Amino acid sequence: MGYADEVFDLTDRVVLVTGGSRGLGAEIAMGAARCGADVVIASRNMDSCVAAAEKITAVTGRSALPYQVHVGRWDQLDGLVDAAYQRFGKVDVLVNNAGMSPLYESLGSVTEKLFDSVVNLNLKGPFRLSALIGERMVADGGGSIINVSSSGSLRPDQYMLPYAAAKAGLNALTEGLAKAFGPTVRVNTLMAGPFLTDISKAWDIADDSFGHLALQRAGNPPEIIGAALFLMSDASSFSTGSILRVDGGLP
């Protein structure tokens, strides 16, 4: 094993990725499996979860459990946790990645339903999953929780205000959970800037849309993997309660 392989090794660790069927979550799950982890792929669409899980096993030979769940629904999360522990006996890494930001015309047009669904998925679900799994990680002697946030939580604009507020809450959750579950379990925020996933299909992208970033472009989904592997593995053993920005140098 080379030196870098050792530092980022995840052999026989179990990594649960919400929203692991597509986009950044699929990249993170595949990256973890390539480093030796077994994975749980959880999202609403079971066919997508099965397809992503089969691909991971075909490419890496690792086990991958697909699981259908709506992360914004509190009462569905115990089932996800039970399924993961029944199948693998432990969870070493939880990646709270599932998230979304629906478009709206104006602040006045935001309905209570839209607001609640955004907060439920981006904040409430990660809180509940972290509580359920974090306490078990502490009892088991270790673990890492990664909350996938957005640069919008630091630079909110009027077109995604409920989302920005929910992700800002997620940032706060990271710090509080790091204290609550330390010194045994580490909790960090992986803060994404603009990435060209399905989310970006709704954007009105012009030639100069990303000119204000130091790198002057949006990210390609695989470019999240290195930072995620850092936070998942022992490479980040002295990082907790932190925010790691992967945003192309957003001002």
Ligand X SMILES: NC(=O)c1ccc[n+]([C@@H]2O[C@H](COP(=O)([O-])OP(=O)(O)OC[C@H]3O[C@@H](n4cnc5c(N)ncnc54)[C@H](OP(=O)(O)O)[C@@H]3O)[C@@H](O)[C@H]2O)c1
Active site residues: 163
H runs (alpha helix) in 61-124: 77-88, 112-119
Contact set for ligand X, span 5-64 (CB under 6 A):
18-19, 21-25, 43-45, 48
Tell me how far, at minimum, the Cβ of 223 lies from ligand X, in Å.
11
- Rounded Cα gap, residues 43 and 20, in angstroms: 7
123 binds ligand X (CB under 6 A): no
- Select from 98, 164, 228, 232 the one that contacts ligand X (CB under 6 A): 98
Compare residues 97 and 174 and give the one whose CB is closer to ligand X.
97
Half-sphere exposure of 47 (CA within 13 A, CB side): 0
Site string for ligand X, 137-156 (x = CB under 6 A): -----------x-x------
**Would you count residue 67 as binding ligand X (CB under 6 A)?**
no
Q: Is 72 in the site for ligand X (CB under 6 A)?
A: yes
Would you say 1 or 111 has its CB closer to ligand X? 111
CB neighbour list of residue 109: distance below 8 Å, 6 or more residues apart: none
Q: Quick check: 94 and 130 in contact, CB under 8 A?
A: yes
The amino acid at 32: A
Helix (H) or strand (E) segment spanning residue 187: strand 185-192
Residue with token string 């630091």: 154
What residue ranges bind ligand X (CB under 6 A)?
A: 18-19, 21-25, 43-45, 48, 69-72, 97-100, 121, 148, 150, 192, 194-195, 197-200
